[in-house]
Amino acid sequence: MTGGPAIAGAPRAEVLFVVAAGPRRGFGHLRRAISLARALGVLPVVAIRGDVRARRVARGLGAHPVTGTPRQALATLRPRALVIDDPNARATRGWRAAARTCRTPVVAVVDLGIGLAPCDLLVDGSITARAASRRVPGALLGPRYAILDPRLRAHRRRPEARPTVLIALGGGPHADAARRLARHLRRLRPDVEIRIAAGFAQSAPAPADGVVWLPPLPGLGAELGRCTVAVLGGGVSLYEGCALGVPTVAASVVAAQRPAIEGFARLGAIVDGGRLTAAASARQVARLARHVAVLLGDRAWRARLGARARRLVDGRGASRVARAIRRVLPRPAPGVARPTSVAARQGMSHEN
């Protein structure tokens, strides 16, 4: 984060979220921060480690990006808690130091223990908890604490009459991999409608060859609810699909997604489709397409996968985490009004 000009009217920051986001990093950390803010009933005020595109996406999702140094942010916004959701512990070192100076509780949200650093409350909602996370006293571990949009559970599974496959692997080079997968799948099942969610930072091409490219969406709940089978990566969308009981073939687009996919597959909740990167061979893509085609043709298998997935991820994790955060929040001093527009007085910039 860098300093900026003084801008009045910055939102009240009951909780300040620090996240990594961008076309290459993805937007799962940002989406998780917004979901947790909803569960807490606070504005999603976010400091983003990312470029202008990431801040533009954040505004489109209803978040309030701010810029400034960690000391400026905490001294002026004076949040009651700092929530860090960034896998790079070195990048957040300044935030943790500033929080110690301001005596602001730090909540760390991690995946598989990646980016673990000193904190007052650790949340690792991964299906497979690493030893590093298990050693932290009082840590919230496992998919019971997977932070998903509280509104997700309002969506119901109503698959389309026509077999439909949702492919949601992210934008950038992952969208090219999704296009290749769609072509292979069309050869196997020309009757299937394929819908590709290409990510927040990806422009949607025109429909072609039975493939619909979806525009950037604030959430995948509606699309997950209508599809017959989903092809998802190993990030937040995989947990969303499980919470809705969506029969899923999961493919990792980065190495860090493998443990989550393998963990869910071992428990019989999804099909492990292997890896699907921009450099994937035609053989890898064809293998993944066959997995999807077989699952499309087996209603009983789809039902078993969906039921097991829902048992593992119930979609209430954000509420559980919010309750735990409230327990570590310091009580505001009696008679002291909390600031609502002080952000820029000492170098903070709120981006409208």
pLDDT tops 90 at residue 208: no
Residue 7 pLDDT exceeds 60: no
Q: Residue 323 belongs to what H/E stretch? A: helix 317-328
Q: Which residue has the tokens 């071992």?
A: 266
The strand order across the sheet containing 229-232 reads 211-214, 193-197, 164-168, 229-232, 248-252, 271-275
Which pLDDT score, from 0 to 100, does residue 25 have? 80
Nearest to 245 by CA among 302, 178, 206, 207: 302
Whether the domain at 15-148+315-350 and the domain at 154-312 fall into the same CATH topology: yes
pLDDT confidence tier of residue 3, bands split at 50, 70 and 90: very low
- Residue-wise pLDDT for 230-251, tens only, equals 999 999 999 999 999 999 999 9
Cβ atoms of 150 and 35 within 8 Å: the answer is yes
Residue 6, pLDDT above cutoff 70:
no
Give the pLDDT confidence of 139-173 residue by residue, as tens digits: 999 999 999 999 998 888 898 889 999 999 977 67
Concatenating the DSSP letter of every residue in 35-88 gives HHHHHHTS--EEEEES-HHHHHHHHHTT-EEEES-HHHHHHHH--SEEEEE-S-
Q: In the predicted model, what is the mean pLDDT of the chain?
A: 87
pTM to 2 decimal places? 0.88
Instruction: Residue 144: name the closest of 347, 349, 344, 320 by CA.
Output: 320
The pLDDT assigned to 11 comes to 60
**Per-residue pLDDT at 1:** 46
Q: How far apart are CA 74 and CA 99, in angstroms?
A: 7
Tokens of 18: 């620090």
If residue 101 lies in a helix (H) or strand (E), which one and from where to where?
helix 93-102
Which run of H or of E encompasses 133? helix 131-134
Determine the CATH number of domain 154-312: 3.40.50.2000
Pick the CATH number of 15-148+315-350 from 1.20.950, 3.40.30, 3.40.50, 3.30.70: 3.40.50
What are the extents of the domains in the chain? 15-148+315-350, 154-312
Tens-digit pLDDT profile for residues 319-350: 999 999 999 888 765 554 444 333 333 344 45
Q: 61 near 218, Cβ under 8 Å?
A: yes
Is the pLDDT assigned to residue 13 strictly greater than 90? no
- Give residue-wise pLDDT tens across range 19-78: 999 877 888 999 999 999 999 999 999 999 999 989 999 999 999 999 889 999 998 899
> What local confidence, expressed as pLDDT, does residue 294 receive?
97
Confidence bin at 316 (pLDDT 50/70/90): very high
Q: Indicate whether 204 pLDDT > 90.
A: no
Q: Structure tokens of 185?
A: 């799948």
Q: What H or E segment, with its residue span, contains residue 307?
A: helix 299-312
Span 239-296, pLDDT tens digits: 999 999 999 999 998 888 999 999 999 999 999 999 998 788 899 999 999 999 999 9
Give mean pLDDT, residues 126-147.
Answer: 90
Among 35, 50, 27, 129, residue whose Cα is nearest residue 83 = 35
Quick check: 217 pLDDT over 50? Answer: yes
Residue 348 confidence (pLDDT): 47
Task: Return the pLDDT at 200.
Answer: 66
